[in-house]
Amino acid sequence: MTHLSDLNTPAAVVDVQRMLRNIQRMQTRADSLGVKFRPHVKTTKCLEVVKAQQAAGAHGITVSTLKEAEQFFAAGISDILYAVGMVPAKLPQVLAMRRRGCDLKIITDSLAAARSIAAFSAENNAALEVWIEIDSDGHRSGIEPEADLLLDVGKTLHDAGVHLGGVLTHAGSSYECTTEEELRELAEKERAGAVRAAERLRAAGLPCPGVSVGSTPTALYAQRLGGVTELRAGVYVFFDLVMHNVGVCRTEDIALSVLTTVIGHQEEKGWAIVDAGWMAMSRDRGTQKQQRDFGFGQVCTEGGKLLEDYLVTSANQEHGIVSLRSGVDPQIAERLPIGTRLRILPNHACTTGAQHPEYHAIDQKSDALSWPRFYGW
């Protein structure tokens, strides 16, 4: 059995106990709100993690790439929602998967795309399932709930014999919230927008059986989900420093870290140099505009104890600079001598995970199992 101390650095480390606790917390939340939970697997892209989510009670998965869909379908998961706007060039791949037995659902928020989907469906006698994306918070994609476009898209698809699966929305602006009150208000706005869109479709004689909402912060702070059929969230499985700043987790809930080794010093600058640069941590600086900036990551001991005053304050490709949050530590070479192994909590678990070909899953005894993850589109 491989031990944490045997791992080469840099390495992506998953604290399994923390991860399982996070999974159960979200599943319990969905259960208490009376909705199905469909995890977004783009954060981990890892079958072992998804198995744990399913074991806790998840129904289906959400993906952000068709490669994710292909990989998880090959592993035996068939209920898959591809939650990125569909383009015509990808429709043959979608149809091929459906004809192999994958219950793959696609989304659109565009009349042009809806027309393309309708034409493709007619030409290929294809039984596609399409959900309409709703913009509930002005953050990114989607159709506003009261827009005429909503009914135009729905009618275009329905008239062509395409199955309208429902509406979905993602309150991505929740990442910008800083208080519980803001999160609760946004969660209700997200719910109300999706439900209103569904009501308008149904009133126009169009089917809309599904209403899907979710982001990690709104999922954890929604007070009610009347009219909603399923909840989605992704980063909750690992959490990260952005989520910590939003207020939905503690640092001791963050299950992903990067194991690194001190390889040198610039003592007069108060720097310890480590072998985890932005290739290991990613360039994500998601905490930079939040109330607490964690640089490129929060430094911990190899065993996971926070070294609260120390951050990765700068990063090059393969070099990270560990220093005090403010000021200079003239004894840093004594505190963190060459060969010292540290763990760095990431700003954004999705981007940090994407830098690594595998996770090293650590149990309570610090024994490590290799969990592969995959790349690409």
Mean pLDDT of each 10-residue bin along the chain, 377 residues long: 95 98 98 98 98 98 98 98 97 98 98 98 95 93 97 97 97 91 96 98 98 97 97 98 97 98 98 98 95 96 96 98 96 98 98 97 95 93
Q: Are residues 200 and 263 in the same domain?
A: no
Q: Per the domain annotation, does 287 fall within a domain?
A: yes
Which domain covers residue 263, as residue numbers? Answer: 255-372
| Structure token pair of residue 232 | 């989605």
Q: Are residues 205 and 112 in the same domain?
A: yes
Q: Per the domain annotation, does 10 fall within a domain?
A: no
* The amino acid at 17: Q
3-class state of residue 140 by DSSP: coil
Q: Are residues 149 and 273 in the same domain?
A: no
CATH code of residue 328: 2.40.37.20
Q: CA 174 to CA 182: how far, in whole Å?
A: 8
CB neighbour burial string for 165-175, b if at least 16 within 10 angstroms, e if fewer? bbbbbbbbbbb
Q: Are residues 219 and 295 in the same domain?
A: no
CATH code of residue 205: 3.20.20.10
Q: Per the domain annotation, does 142 fall within a domain?
A: yes
Q: Are residues 279 and 335 in the same domain?
A: yes
User: pLDDT at position 317, please?
Assistant: 98
Q: Are residues 266 and 227 in the same domain?
A: no
Q: Per the domain annotation, does 125 fall within a domain?
A: yes
Q: Per the domain annotation, does 70 fall within a domain?
A: yes
Q: Per the domain annotation, does 335 fall within a domain?
A: yes
Is the torsion defined by CA of 26, 369, 351, 63 positive or negative?
A: negative
Q: Note the maximum CA span of the chain.
A: 72
Q: Are residues 206 and 151 in the same domain?
A: yes
Tokens 């070479």 -> residue: 333
Q: CA 127 to CA 133: how far, in whole Å?
A: 19
Q: Are residues 95 and 158 in the same domain?
A: yes
Q: Are residues 224 and 281 in the same domain?
A: no
Is 113 in contact with 106 (CB distance < 8 Å)? no
Q: Per the domain annotation, does 87 fall within a domain?
A: yes
User: pLDDT at position 345, please?
Assistant: 98
Q: Are residues 264 and 226 in the same domain?
A: no
User: pLDDT at position 127, please?
Assistant: 85
Q: Are residues 110 and 227 in the same domain?
A: yes
The candidate with the shortest Cα–Cα distance to 130, out of 143, 140, 147, is: 143
Q: Are residues 79 and 113 in the same domain?
A: yes
343: left (phi over 0), alpha (psi -120 to 50) or beta: beta
| Structure token pair of residue 90 | 């990808």
Is 240 in contact with 349 (CB distance < 8 Å)? yes
How far, in Å, are 41, 43, 237 from residue 20 at the CA level?
15, 15, 8
DSSP state, residue 143: B
Q: CA 293 to CA 314: how far, in whole Å?
A: 12
Which of 238, 263, 295 terminates a domain? The answer is: 238
How many domains does one find in the chain?
A: 2
pTM, to two decimals: 0.96
Q: Per the domain annotation, does 153 fall within a domain?
A: yes
User: pLDDT at position 140, please?
Assistant: 86
| Structure token pair of residue 9 | 């650095």
Half-sphere exposure of 355 (CA within 13 A, CB side): 23
Tokens 């072992």 -> residue: 48
